[in-house]
């Protein structure tokens, strides 16, 4: 089709030129002699010279008479050209690839919708107080007092890990042993699973639901994961003590504790881990106004007095004081 159009266009240009020429020659008379196959027309040009034009067949057509203005069959050719052009146009249109659908970026979900996962224990089922502070700050000692007086369940993450380390057949025994000696933080999946199991057991076997979680979370991701998966914390008790005092207490405890990390090398590593990794958790909760600060440099009794006073208001809502 395209080829036929490209042939038609030069033809029409020639035809136009011929029409101009023919118009000019009408000023001059012409004579026509016709045979069956060939029609010969004798015409005069601008210079009044006579010459002969041969036509392939027939005489002047389309109502033309010999000597009419246009010797070419213009109207059929225009019709053919128009039909050809239209055909070409529709052919091109039909061959065009359909426009691919352009997706609106707004319709694309760039981020998966948040999965709304509930913690294992809701607010009404369990309450959790985190107990944080440097190694040897006196957390375990004060938790003992609170258990005695308030009926909390005390879950020390370090104690749970040590128990798991000793459990026959544990997959994590060797790993925990190494991490504790080096003062490093055991992968949170292990610790969180131990805590959740212990909570569930206390709830089902003792019917208890108020927990002091001691020495955990020690790292930001642990805090986030625990609150997402297990239970949201009510607040954090933070025992503030100097390194010198903690070192003295730990070395003293090391005389009888049998703990693999109550020695000077391990203690230094534990201090470093606390400063770099664990203290940011306290700062995180402080920004949320969820920290109760306790000055832990005093005697155990005086420290406990502070603890009771600080807790009184916050606990009165949920726990009966003795
Ligand atoms: N206020 C205090 N003054 C002096 N010694 C204390 C005081 N509180 C606790 N201790 C003693 O310090 C040692 C460490 O105390 P505790 O075990 O309670 O600390 P902790 O913060 O739980 O330590 P860790 O994080 O290593 O488990 C213990 O021997 C304990 O008897
Ligand atoms: O959440 C935790 C708690 C503890 N650890 C490891 O245990 C030791 C001892 O912890 P204590 O609280 O002093 O008993 C600690 O140095 C860590 O190595 C832990 O990895 N994650």
Walk me through the domains of the chain, giving residue ranges and CATH numbers. Answer: 127-314 (3.40.50.300)
Query: What is the average per-residue pLDDT within 187-204?
Result: 98
Residue 232, Cα to own-chain centre: how many angstroms? 26
Euclidean distance between CA atoms 230 and 217, whole angstroms: 12
Euclidean distance between CA atoms 212 and 322, whole angstroms: 18
Out of 18-27, 92-101, 105-114, 163-172, which region has the weakest mean confidence (pLDDT)? 18-27
Q: What pLDDT is stored for residue 87 in this prediction?
A: 62
Residue 114 pLDDT > 90, yes or no?
no
Report the nearest atom of ligand 2 relative to the CA of 179.
18
pTM of the model: 0.70
In sequence order, the β-bridge partners of residue 235 are: 129
The radius of gyration of the chain from alpha carbons, rounded to an integer in Å, stands at 50
Q: What pLDDT is stored for residue 86 in this prediction?
A: 74
**Ligand 2: lining residues by beta carbon, under 6 Å:** 135, 156-158, 161, 179-180, 183-186, 191, 215-216, 218, 261, 270
Q: What pLDDT is stored for residue 314 in this prediction?
A: 80
270 is in an annotated binding site: yes
Q: What pLDDT is stored for residue 89 in this prediction?
A: 67
Q: Are 219 and 281 in contact (CB under 8 A)?
A: yes
DSSP 41-90: EEEE-TT--EEEEEESSSSS-TT--TT-S--S-HHHHHHHHHHHHHHHHH
Task: Summarize pLDDT for 53-99 with one digit per residue, the tens.
Answer: 444 443 334 334 444 455 566 776 767 767 766 766 665 555 554 54
Measured in angstroms, how far is the CA atom of residue 142 from the centroid of ligand 1? 9
DSSP 80-142: HHHHHHHHHHHHHHHHSPPPPPPPPGGGS-SSPPPP----SS-TTT-EEEEEEESTTSSHHHH
Mean pLDDT for the chain overall: 79
In testing the pocket of ligand 2, which one of 218, 223, 266, 274 has its CB within 8 Å of the most ligand atoms? 218
Query: What is the average per-residue pLDDT within 261-287?
Result: 98
**pLDDT band at 167; cut points 50, 70, 90:** very high
Number of CB atoms found within 10 A of residue 67's CB: 16
**Ligand 1: lining residues by beta carbon, under 6 Å:** 133, 135-141, 158, 215, 249, 252-253, 299-300, 303
ipTM value? 0.99
Task: Summarize pLDDT for 140-150 with one digit per residue, the tens.
Answer: 999 999 999 99
Q: Is the dihedral of CA 58, 62, 67, 69 positive or negative?
A: negative
Euclidean distance between CA atoms 251 and 244, whole angstroms: 11
Q: What pLDDT is stored for residue 43 in this prediction?
A: 45
Q: What pLDDT is stored for residue 117 in this prediction?
A: 82
Q: What pLDDT is stored for residue 64 in this prediction?
A: 41
Euclidean distance between CA atoms 303 and 141, whole angstroms: 10
In sequence order, the β-bridge partners of residue 59 are: none
Question: Which of the ligands is closest to the CA of residue 195?
Answer: 2
Q: What pLDDT is stored for residue 248 in this prediction?
A: 98
Euclidean distance between CA atoms 171 and 168, whole angstroms: 9
Out of 11-15, 214-218, 219-223, which region has the weakest mean confidence (pLDDT)? 11-15
Q: Between 157-166 and 188-206, two packed helices, what is the crossing angle to 10 degrees?
A: 100
**pLDDT band at 182; cut points 50, 70, 90:** very high
Q: What pLDDT is stored for residue 82 in this prediction?
A: 73
Measured in angstroms, how far is the CA atom of residue 8 from the centroid of ligand 1? 105
Residue 199 has which token pair?
């909570």
Euclidean distance between CA atoms 52 and 280, whole angstroms: 109
Residue 10 has which token pair?
């030069």
**pLDDT band at 44; cut points 50, 70, 90:** very low
193 is in an annotated binding site: no
Q: What pLDDT is stored for residue 84 in this prediction?
A: 67
Measured in angstroms, how far is the CA atom of residue 8 from the centroid of ligand 2? 93
Out of 56-65, 146-155, 158-167, which region has the weakest mean confidence (pLDDT)? 56-65
Measured in angstroms, how far is the CA atom of residue 265 from the centroid of ligand 1? 18
241 backbone dihedrals φ, ψ, rounded to 5°: -145, 150
């Amino acid at each position: 089709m395209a080829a036929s159009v490209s042939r038609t266009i030069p033809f029409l240009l020639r035809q136009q030129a011929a029409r101009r020429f023919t118009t000019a020659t009408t000023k001059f008379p012409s004579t026509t002699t016709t045979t069956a196959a060939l029609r010969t027309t004798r015409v005069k040009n601008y210079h009044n010279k006579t010459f002969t034009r041969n036509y392939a067949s027939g005489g002047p057509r389309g109502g033309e008479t010999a000597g009419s203005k246009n010797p070419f069959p213009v109207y059929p050719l225009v019709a053919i050209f128009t039909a050809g052009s239209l055909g070409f146009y529709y052919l091109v249109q039909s061959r065009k690839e359909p426009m691919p659908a352009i997706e609106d970026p707004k319709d694309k979900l760039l981020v998966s919708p948040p999965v709304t996962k509930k913690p294992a224990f809701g607010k009404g089922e369990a309450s959790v107080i985190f107990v944080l502070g440097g190694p040897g700050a006196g957390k375990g000692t004060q938790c003992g007092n609170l258990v005695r007086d308030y009926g909390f369940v005390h879950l020390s993450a370090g104690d749970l890990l040590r128990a798991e380390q000793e459990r026959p057949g544990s997959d994590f025994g060797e790993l925990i042993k190494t991490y504790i000696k080096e003062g490093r933080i055991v992968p949170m999946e292990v610790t969180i699973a131990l805590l959740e199991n212990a909570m569930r057991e206390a709830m089902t076997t003792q019917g208890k639901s108020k927990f002091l979680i001691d020495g955990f979370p020690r790292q930001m991701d642990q805090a986030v994961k625990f609150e997402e998966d297990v239970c949201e914390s009510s607040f954090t008790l933070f025992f503030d003590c100097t390194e010198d005092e903690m070192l003295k207490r730990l070395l003293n405890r090391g005389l009888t504790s049998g703990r693999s990390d109550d020695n000077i090398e391990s203690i230094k590593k534990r201090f470093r881990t606390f400063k770099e990794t664990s203290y940011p958790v306290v700062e995180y909760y402080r920004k949320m106004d969820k920290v109760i600060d306790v000055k832990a440099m005093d005697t155990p009794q005086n420290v406990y007095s502070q603890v009771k006073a600080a807790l009184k208001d916050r606990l009165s809502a949920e726990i009966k004081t003795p």
